[in-house]
Chain A
């Protein structure tokens, strides 16, 4: 029991030394570590947002808006298909709640052909190798003349997946514009994106930048309509739409529904200044398709006003003085300098597939984070001191062994945290403290057992051997129950709470090694060296 083969001794020391080596970088400031040579372990524990300050934003994609968009496109496709087939139809409608587009075919002779062609709109849904057999649409006959196209669950899921993927890329491009270190943008669940940006101070600006859908459109202003009259009579001409500017009070415009060019055709956008007025502006460049369309539209409409519309709001409505043929232009709209630069970022990064809403926000300022680190460190050191003193008071030399093992345990926690790149939060620090209690508990169990065995008249070596082996099952049983609740905590928790579960789990696992194996090794060396007649316990 107390005999250690050579390889085991080497292994134990190896683990201890490795733990300490990987923990050491945490004792130095990050800047110092960066100046060290490459071969020095330099991973440090990542501090959670609650300790270093930063923003945690959970966004949810508006599923209904996404469905509506899809249904709009689907309706256009149905119209296009039936027109190509020269089939006349009535009642082409969409239903967002039912996720359907339905149409009625006028001539019974057209019905079968229309049905067959509309069925072709349904696409197989990816799956692995496209073998899932699922389609994104379910096309069915309804009565004698109706056809219903319904989005399938598989189709919706596929849409959602690609929308979330696109959102993450767009958000990343926008957050990158802030130049902060290591932002994390991850999908969560079905329709959510978690954005974590450490060390950011202007959270309102970040939210504004992410929250803009960024849908840019160039459309003509209807020259024949008087916006004021339309507002009063509420009679918007067909093919037109009533939109407002972003000013306060908002200015109404009557805008053509037809889109000349949209943001999809944009290849670049940069903030700048107007050469004449020195006003902040955003300059942009179209791709070749966009440039051609824009050139044609401006040629046809010289002298008429057109509108630049961002997310349904008119940014500006300049009059076309001459055809714009070069494919580039500028947007001016009484911006401030940061507004112009944010707009450029929004346009460059592309539009979000649907609106994103903040459903959870947790922001911590850098000063609070620093305060938490200070008070957390103070509390930990104080707790450690008390535990160490108490263990020595209770068990003397054997308490000392336990204390050395405890120090190694803490080093191992930091070593593992640094190595796996896990995050340390304030509750995580509390987890380390609780680990101290649990780790020495193993030694309490062992030492109490040894005392009992001595009382029952065993020799020192036999008592110690029996103490370790008898306490072992108890230690395992009691640690497993703690691990069970910790795992549940890990599964449930987010952010800070998860940090607690992580440190506690690592700490408990490490304590099985330090409090049991390591102290046993120490005790066995001590026995060989001191050859005690009585155990001082």
Chain B
């Protein structure tokens, strides 16, 4: 009977933690380079965070005359205007900068509609006034911070503080890495980007928890094993699962990047990237950090409790 392909052999002995000097450098780069990118290149903030008007149109002609549209909209003197093709050659995205008041913001749509006339189809119009955009910035930041704190508390409650700190550190790594992608590709950074980041946080943590679980189990099992070895053992034991689960999620999300349409492209790409970077940080950031933080082997309340529970389970 077909037993399934063992994609990852059962007894890998890769020295993930042993080779940590190299991985530290890569991790540091993955954290610092995005920050530099954001600092130097900046993020392409969407209207959610910057305010403004976004109009997606589809022209009757098979190829839109961008120059003509640009000339018409620029003639309105609405401040900064961006015009770009969006997905298809006859699909055009027009972005008008935020206007000083909500009223002028509303008037700007009417003006654009007037110069473009009825010859185009208005597929989407989004207007975010100054009030809302500042609230969304605050809300988005608060959400990411709250999610991090809640997760920190949960991990601390379930494991020990070292695990919680390692988890948060690797999440910071994942978040900066994702923001770096937005900056490098100049993808629009909007509310759904925050959603992507929050989901990546949750999903990537999922993975760390599995490895932490194994580390904790092995800490109890091999009381004398040096920590470096023990960490490598735990990572290798869970390696097959780590790889397989990321591959399935990657396979599930990838079609969204390829055929999901422009509306969700940025979100899907960030997710896919987050899946990859999350897998990396589980192996190369979260686990090795235990070495620095120094997990306690026994004595602490948490591990004593866990031991008792484990014994109870074993008996049952």
Chain A complexes with chain B: yes
A434 and B203: CB pair below 8 A? yes
Consensus secondary structure, chain A interface: helix
Q: Is B261 in the interface zone, CB < 8 Å from A?
A: yes
Alpha-carbon distance between A496 and B56 when the two chains are bound, in angstroms: 18
Given contacts A427-B195, A489-B198, contact A434 B255 (CB under 8 A): no
Alpha-carbon distance between A54 and B240 when the two chains are bound, in angstroms: 46
Contact segment of B35-43, B207-215, B223-231: B207-215
A329 to chain B, nearest CB (A): 33
B7 and A394: CB pair below 8 A? yes
Which chain B positions have C-beta within 8 A of A382?
A: 255, 259
Q: Is B166 in the interface zone, CB < 8 Å from A?
A: no
B239 to chain A, nearest CB (A): 10
Q: Which residue of chain A lies nearest to B145 when distances are taken between CB atoms in the complex?
A: A488
A437 and B126: CB pair below 8 A? no
B139 to chain A, nearest CB (A): 5
Given contacts A434-B253, A474-B209, A481-B151, contact A360 B7 (CB under 8 A): no
B259 and A379: CB pair below 8 A? yes
Which chain A positions have C-beta within 8 A of B245?
A: 437, 440-441, 444-445
Q: Is B121 in the interface zone, CB < 8 Å from A?
A: yes
Interface residue from B154, B238, B255 paired with A481 (Cβ < 8 Å): B154
Consensus secondary structure, chain B interface: helix
A455 and B10: CB pair below 8 A? yes
Q: Which residue of chain B lies nearest to A382 when distances are taken between CB atoms in the complex?
A: B255
Q: Is A186 in the interface zone, CB < 8 Å from B?
A: no
Which chain B positions have C-beta within 8 A of A359?
A: 102, 129, 131-132
Q: Is B60 in the interface zone, CB < 8 Å from A?
A: no
B177 to chain A, nearest CB (A): 17
A426 and B248: CB pair below 8 A? no
How many residues of chain A get a CB closer than 8 Å to chain B's CBs? 79
A438 and B206: CB pair below 8 A? yes
Q: Is A478 in the interface zone, CB < 8 Å from B?
A: yes
Alpha-carbon distance between A483 and B154 when the two chains are bound, in angstroms: 11
Which chain A positions have C-beta within 8 A of B7?
A: 394
Interface residue from B2, B202, B253 paired with A485 (Cβ < 8 Å): B202
B238 to chain A, nearest CB (A): 8
User: Chain A, 25-37, contact with B by CB distance < 8 Å: what is the 0/1 string?
Assistant: 0000000000000
Interface residue from A363, A375, A390, A501 paired with B261 (Cβ < 8 Å): A375
A484 and B147: CB pair below 8 A? yes
Contact segment of A161-169, A303-311, A338-346, A365-373: A365-373
Q: Is A154 in the interface zone, CB < 8 Å from B?
A: no
Which chain B positions have C-beta within 8 A of A357?
A: 102-103, 129
A437 and B5: CB pair below 8 A? no
Q: Is the interface on chain B under 10, 10 to 19, 20 to 34, or 35 or more residues? A: 35 or more
Q: Is A436 in the interface zone, CB < 8 Å from B?
A: yes
Interface residue from A60, A363, A383, A485 paired with B199 (Cβ < 8 Å): A485
B150 and A372: CB pair below 8 A? no
Q: Is A332 in the interface zone, CB < 8 Å from B?
A: no
A508 to chain B, nearest CB (A): 9
Contact segment of A212-220, A271-279, A395-403: A395-403
Which chain A positions have C-beta within 8 A of B128?
A: 360
B271 and A451: CB pair below 8 A? no
A360 and B3: CB pair below 8 A? no
B201 and A485: CB pair below 8 A? yes
B123 and A482: CB pair below 8 A? no
User: Chain A, 279-291, contact with B by CB distance < 8 Å: what is the 0/1 string?
Assistant: 0000000000000
B241 and A497: CB pair below 8 A? no
Interface residue from B127, B140, B155, B252 paired with A383 (Cβ < 8 Å): B252
B202 and A396: CB pair below 8 A? no
User: Chain A, 437-478, contact with B by CB distance < 8 Å: what is the 0/1 string?
Assistant: 110110011001001100100000000000000000110011
B307 to chain A, nearest CB (A): 14
B154 and A371: CB pair below 8 A? no
A386 and B126: CB pair below 8 A? no
Q: Is B15 in the interface zone, CB < 8 Å from A?
A: no
Alpha-carbon distance between A430 and B132 when the two chains are bound, in angstroms: 25
Which chain A positions have C-beta within 8 A of B132?
A: 58, 359-360
Alpha-carbon distance between A250 and B180 when the two chains are bound, in angstroms: 54
Interface residue from A360, A384, A485, A504 paired with B127 (Cβ < 8 Å): A360
Q: Which residue of chain A lies nearest to B191 when distances are taken between CB atoms in the complex?
A: A497
Q: Which residue of chain A lies nearest to B200 when distances are taken between CB atoms in the complex?
A: A485
Nearest 10 CB-CB pairs, A to B?
A437-B249, A485-B202, A375-B261, A382-B255, A482-B202, A478-B206, A492-B143, A386-B251, A361-B127, A396-B4
Ordered by A's residue number, 18 sampled pairs between the chains whose C-beta atoms are within 8 Å are: A50-B263, A203-B125, A358-B102, A360-B128, A368-B263, A372-B261, A372-B264, A375-B261, A379-B260, A383-B252, A384-B252, A393-B4, A396-B3, A441-B206, A482-B203, A493-B191, A497-B192, A537-B3
Using a CB–CB cutoff of 8 Å, the interface residues on chain B facing chain A are 1-5, 7, 10, 56, 58, 102-103, 106, 109-110, 113, 121-129, 131-132, 139-140, 142-143, 146-147, 150-151, 154-155, 158, 191-192, 194-195, 198-199, 201-203, 205-207, 209-210, 213, 237-238, 240-241, 244-245, 247-256, 258-261, 263-264, 267-268, 271
